[in-house]
Each structure stands twice: as structure tokens, then as C-alpha cells.
């Protein structure tokens, strides 16, 4: 473990997953409970003018990954951050003590993206992303095995249990590190 990691008083967690799996919903609840800083990376990039172009695949802005990482590097290593983004391969591995990848049943995800107003093609692309577990694979390729945890997020009950699970993970990390 690097000295930078051992100095961190609070952990950093990454909430990843296909668009619509519930990252922002869960991150916001965790932010309220823990007083950690929630950063929705897409919004953060937009506010700070760190965008490159429009991502036709995910129907969102393409962020300038290097600029986003440079900007976040000023604050995130100190700890206490909940980073919320669908992708996860461009962040420095050392930032995160845990990477939670949310997963949602295909039919449920389809309905959520329809409700969000995505067109048929975008819905299909995102549902395929989920079927092929692209974000899970990306996380497994980018972070140590013991850091990556998958959480099923289909129902309202799942929100509660996933939030509790992550909060308990934070509590035990903090307890161990104190
Ligand atoms: P993401 O940030 O991953 O794109 P959101 O948190 O914005 O996803 O959630 C997408 C939509 O699905 C929202 O309308 C949200 O209220 C709903 N949602 C998220 N998680 C659940 C769940 N476990 N059960 C039911 N609805 C959910
Ligand atoms: Mn979101």
C-alpha cells in the first residue's frame, strides 16, 4: 500500500454501471448519510467546461478524461469522495478503495431508459452494454479483484439494501483504518 493511501482518513468509492442502473440515486443517498462528497462526473465536467464532444453511444457528452482527472486529482486523493460515472478505466487506480458496479435486469433497465426519454437505438445500445456486462469487465480490467464488487439494483428494496451495504463497507473501512 502506498503512503498516500495509508494517510487517507476516509475511503474513496467509485459507483460505476451502465446508464440507468441507479448510480446517481444511490450516490445521493450515500452522500446524505455519510457527508462524503458526491461527484457526478458528467455534471462535474459540464460545469467545469471539461467536455470534448457528444457521445452518440451513451447519449451524453464525451468528457475530456485527462482534464477531468487533473482537476479531480487536486481533491480526491484526500479521501471521502463518491465518484459516479458509467466508465471507470481512465481514473487512477490508486484513487479508489472500492469500486461498486451496479447491475440491472435487462427488461427493467429498458423501461428506465424509455422513461428517461432515450430513443430506441440508444436504449438498445445501453441494454446491450448491460447484457455483455461491459462495465463489469472494464472494472475487472482496471482494478484489483478484491476492490470490485457487483451489486444488483432492480427494485426499490435493492436501493435500500445497496445503500446500506456500501455504508457498512465504508464504516468497516474507516474502523479498520483509524
Ligand atoms: P444512473 O445514474 O446510473 O444513470 P439513476 O440513478 O439516474 O441512474 O436512475 C435511473 C432511473 O431509475 C431513475 O428514474 C431512478 O429513480 C430509477 N431507479 C434507480 N434505481 C432504481 C431501483 N433500484 N428501483 C427502481 N427504480 C430505480
Ligand atoms: Mn447518473
Determine how β-strand 98-103 pairs with β-strand 37-40.
unpaired
pLDDT over 80 at 90, yes or no = yes
Q: What is the pLDDT of residue 157?
A: 98
Which whole number is the average pLDDT over 11-23? 98
Query: Tens digit of pLDDT for each residue in 115-173?
Result: 999 999 999 999 999 999 999 999 999 999 999 999 999 999 999 999 999 999 999 99
Identify whether the C-beta of residue 139 lies closer than 8 Å to the C-beta of residue 148: yes
Atom of ligand 1 nearest to the CA of 27: 6
42 annotated as a binding-site residue = no
Ligand 1 contact via 156 beta carbon (within 6 Å): yes
Q: What is the pLDDT of residue 61?
A: 77
ipTM of the complex: 0.99
On average, the pLDDT of the chain sits at 93
Ligand 1 contact via 162 beta carbon (within 6 Å): no
Query: Grid coordinates representing 12?
Result: 474513496
Residues 6+ positions from 172 with CB-CB distance below 8 Å: none
Residues in the chain: 178
Query: Grid coordinates representing 93?
Result: 487506480
Ligand 1 contact via 25 beta carbon (within 6 Å): yes
Closest listed ligand to the CA of 16: 1
Residues 6+ positions from 143 with CB-CB distance below 8 Å: 88, 93, 96, 99
Ligand 1 contact via 104 beta carbon (within 6 Å): no
18 annotated as a binding-site residue = no
How confident is residue 97, by pLDDT bands cut at 50, 70 and 90?
very high
Parse the chain into domains and list their residue ranges: 10-154
pLDDT over 90 at 7, yes or no = no
Query: Whose grid coordinates read 435493492?
Result: 158
28 annotated as a binding-site residue = no
pLDDT over 60 at 2, yes or no = no
Q: What is the pLDDT of residue 178?
A: 55
Ligand 1 contact via 12 beta carbon (within 6 Å): no
Closest listed ligand to the CA of 116: 1
Query: Tens digit of pLDDT for each residue in 25-73?
Result: 999 999 999 999 999 999 999 999 999 988 776 667 789 999 999 999 9
pLDDT over 70 at 177, yes or no = no
What is the CATH code of the structural domain delimited by 10-154?
A: 3.40.50.300
Amino acid at each position: 500500500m502506498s503512503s498516500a493511501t495509508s494517510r487517507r482518513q476516509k475511503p474513496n468509492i467509485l459507483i460505476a454501471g451502465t446508464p440507468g442502473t441507479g448510480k446517481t440515486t444511490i450516490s445521493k443517498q450515500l452522500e446524505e448519510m455519510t457527508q462524503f462528497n458526491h461527484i457526478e462526473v458528467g455534471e462535474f465536467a459540464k460545469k467545469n467546461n471539461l467536455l470534448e464532444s457528444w457521445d452518440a453511444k451513451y447519449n451524453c457528452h464525451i468528457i475530456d478524461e485527462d482534464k477531468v482527472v487533473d482537476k479531480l486529482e487536486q481533491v480526491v486523493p484526500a479521501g471521502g469522495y463518491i465518484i459516479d460515472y458509467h466508465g471507470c478505466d481512465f481514473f487512477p487506480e490508486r484513487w479508489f478503495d472500492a469500486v461498486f458496479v451496479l447491475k440491472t435486469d435487462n427488461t427493467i433497465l429498458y423501461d428506465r431508459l424509455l422513461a428517461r426519454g432515450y430513443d430506441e437505438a440508444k436504449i438498445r445500445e445501453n441494454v446491450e452494454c448491460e447484457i455483455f456486462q461491459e462495465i463489469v469487465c472494464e472494472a475487472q480490467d482496471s482494478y484489483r479483484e478484491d476492490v470490485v464488487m457487483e451489486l444488483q439494483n432492480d427494485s426499490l428494496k435493492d436501493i435500500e439494501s445497496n445503500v446500506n451495504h456500501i455504508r457498512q463497507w465504508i464504516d468497516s473501512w474507516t474502523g479498520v483504518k483509524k
